[in-house]
Amino acid sequence: MGFMVCEGFIGRDDIRDILSIDIGPNRIDCKIDIDVSQLFDLGRVERCGTTLFTPRNRSLLPKDVLFSPQVIFNAVGKLKEWGNAWKKTGGAHSSLVCDPSGKILVFCEDIGRSCSVDKAVGKALLEGIDISRCALVTTGRLAGTMVSKAIHSGFPLMASKGATVKKAVLLAQDADLTLVGFVREPKMYVYSGEYRLIYA
């Protein structure tokens, strides 16, 4: 479910139209009651072996959700603290969802950075969390595909301890997403939407 929302195939509100989810040994089948014709309206960009889907009409991200830099620093710290798979192997990624007070609402790990985001988004939606009032924080590099996941899901802010790329910054600026990279206390780089960061 998180994958479908993150990739723009369905919106956050469409999850209530899911009829069934069947998990098999090598695949997951999800049946959902939607107008299939809307999938043909998705914009597509083929790049680096992946396809980036973009709904032509996406909702605006909220402008009134604000975060302090310390909340972002603490969230990135929790990624390292709670990342048991990373501690054991050095080859895993973590993602979490937190609110403006800094409360960690969801934490997920996976071998792939994109999959850790998909998991976190899916878990948050299943738990009824309003992710439009939260931040998405991850260990992965902020590539365009990662940033598009945050935009499709409706997060106003995305942050990572890693780097970003020009394509991702342009996507964030176009969507008015607050994009924060190289989060390493006491410094961070803010590439767009800096007005959502408040300094005491």
Residues 6+ apart with CB under 8 A from 44: 51, 52, 53, 54
C-beta of residue 107 within 8 angstroms of C-beta of residue 139: no
pLDDT of residue 14: 81
Task: Give residue for tokens 């909702």.
Answer: 59
CA dist 108 and 86 (Å) reads 12
Task: Specify whether domain 69-196 bears CATH 3.30.200.20.
Answer: no
pLDDT by position in tens, the chain (length 200)? 888 888 877 888 888 888 888 989 998 888 888 777 766 666 555 544 444 555 555 678 999 999 999 999 999 999 999 988 888 888 899 999 999 999 999 999 999 999 999 999 999 999 999 999 999 999 989 999 999 999 999 999 999 999 999 999 999 999 999 999 999 999 999 999 999 999 87
Residues 6+ apart with CB under 8 A from 66: 100, 196, 197, 198
pLDDT of residue 87: 85
Domains of the chain, by residue range, sit at 2-54, 69-196
pLDDT of residue 140: 87
pLDDT of residue 172: 95
Please measure the distance between the N-terminal and C-terminal CA atoms of the chain and give it in whole angstroms. 38
Question: For residue 36, with 0-12 CB atoms within 10 Å meaning exposed, 13-18 middle and 19 or more buried, which class applies?
Answer: exposed
Residues 6+ apart with CB under 8 A from 182: 161, 162, 163, 188, 189
pLDDT of residue 15: 80
